[in-house]
Structure 1
Amino acid sequence: MTKPPLAISARNLTLTLGIAAAPVEILRGLDLDIASGEVVALLGASGSGKSSLMAVMSGLERATSGALMVAGADFTSMDEDALAQARRGRIGIVLQAFHLLPTMTAAENVATPMELHGVADARERAVDELKAVGLGHRLDHYPTQLSGGEQQRVAIARAIAPRPELIFADEPTGNLDAATGKDIIELLFARRAETGATLLMITHDRALAERCERVVTMADGVIVSDTASASAAA
């Protein structure tokens, strides 16, 4: 069977922050491959480096050294402007904080990023995606008029509407109660399955991690294990 192409390939990836006199090693020589369409959990305690790794792999932060290919683009050779350009259309990001613009409606929050990138049917795609996440009746509501769960649904719609090859989700239920968080996870997995995107889910919740196909565990800026999840093995 032919293996799917790699969505992410990292080799000896490092990230060092701080000043030269007192550098802080955040990522320390990581190797990681993620296949196109794969669902991977990045598990670890706070401070393990998992969010920093996501920031580098999503182009929000530049690696200090190493090689990183993301959706066919060489992220380690790009400056910040080039990384921003490379993210467009390739990567969708869902964070713990919803980061919706308070002066824009739900539909505008989803459509505007696509409009800025020249997508001709941005409004139609925004409406369709909001309907897909169960918010067809909330298109013209502002973030303050939406519950936390509804705001995260808008954030998911915003991430998925451009049909990115990769979706990064960093503790997407961290600001939600347990019941709402469970609904959001079900929605995120369902929308990913329908679009076929690669999903990297960052979490400290092992039960949630086990719902993914692979569990990559980090500690102190390195990968300490990379295994198929119990659900994938079953």
Structure 2
Amino acid sequence: MDLIHLDDIRLTLGKGAARTEILRGIDLKVAAGETLAILGPSGSGKSSLMAVMSGLEQATDGKAELLGKKMADLDEDALARLRGRDIGIVLQNFQLLPTMTALENVSVPMELAGDKEARKKAIDELQRVGLGARLDHYPSQLSGGEQQRVAIARATAPRPRLLLADEPTGNLDGATGAAIIDLIFSRAAAAGAGLIVITHDPALAERADRVIHMRDGVLADA
């Protein structure tokens, strides 16, 4: 079963003279365990495509299946449960809650999803990303690289089937970014998850099994 199956996906925003076609007929399949990089310049539609793939944005037209489920048949609650259980997401700007410690940022989402081993899993994953000594630190007490490690732990601790990373090194310096790339690929492999990386960085893209180029809302080499 494919993790992602998109058929002629289109996304249009705005109305009248302001109407803009963001995605223009996207066809894409991603197999279980595959690592895929979607490479393209800013404004090419990469982040919009990830939003559609994760169910955060509803396509204007076309058919989309996520983990074998037709997304058109799922309401917002069902999509949220699917993301919480089977999909990990890592973003450029970390998206950590400032009033929660590193441990809480990782464990609380799992607790809310009903995982009784949430704290144990969170501690284990934070140790695996090198933050065993930072469990009780708040985001403001962590460097950018450390914050992204927390975000990776939050994404991978539930052992998702699919990991999505949108420009995960965009706010980091070169050396820190390289370490984060290594970590994302290794933790995805450890979780047995498929990995889709959205990036404009050819060096990051080369790490993937397959690279697809995106420009003006269209994919090449899919």
Interval containing the TM-score (normalised by the shorter chain) = over 0.9
Q: Deviations over 1:6-47 (max 9, x none)?
A: 111100111111125532110111110000000000011111
Q: Unpaired segments of 5 or more residues in structure 2?
A: none
Q: Distance in 1 between matches of 2:81 and 2:155?
A: 16
Q: Secondary structure at the match of 1:87?
A: helix
Confirm or deny that 1:158 pairs with 2:157: no
Confirm or deny that 1:50 pairs with 2:46: yes
Q: Could you tell me which amino acid in structure 1 is paired with residue 19 of structure 2?
A: P
Q: Could you tell me which amino acid in structure 2 is paired with residue 175 of structure 1?
A: N
Q: Secondary structure at the match of 2:219?
A: strand
Q: 1:35 aligns with which of 31, 35, 42?
A: 31
8 Å CA contact retained: 1:10, 1:67? yes
8 Å CA contact retained: 1:39, 1:200? yes
Compute the TM-score of the two structures, normalised by the length of structure 1.
0.92
More off after superposition, 80-89 vs 29-38: 80-89
Q: Work out which structure has the larger RCO, using CA pairs closer than 8 Å and 6 or more positions apart in sequence.
A: 2
> What corresponds to 1:120 in structure 2?
116
8 Å CA contact retained: 1:62, 1:80? no
Identity of aligned residues (%): 64
> What corresponds to 1:132 in structure 2?
128
Confirm or deny that 1:88 pairs with 2:84: yes
Structure 1 pair 20–76 and aligned structure 2 pair: CA distance change class (3 A): farther
Q: Secondary structure at the match of 1:172?
A: coil
Q: Distance in 1 between matches of 2:41 and 2:102?
A: 33
> What corresponds to 2:5 in structure 1?
9
1:71-220 matched pairs, under 5 angstroms: 71-220=67-216
Give the number of aligned pairs: 222
Q: Distance in 1 between matches of 2:18 and 2:181?
A: 40
Q: Could you tell me which amino acid in structure 1 is paired with residue 28 of structure 2?
A: L
> What corresponds to 1:18 in structure 2?
14
Q: CA RMSD in A?
A: 1.1
Q: Distance in 2 between matches of 1:64 and 1:201?
A: 23
Q: Unpaired segments of 5 or more residues in structure 1?
A: 227-234
Compute the TM-score of the two structures, normalised by the length of structure 2.
0.97
Q: Secondary structure at the match of 1:89?
A: helix
Deviation at 1:207, TM superposition (A): 1.7
8 Å CA contact retained: 1:37, 1:196? yes
Runs of 4+ in 1 over 3 A off after TM superposition: none
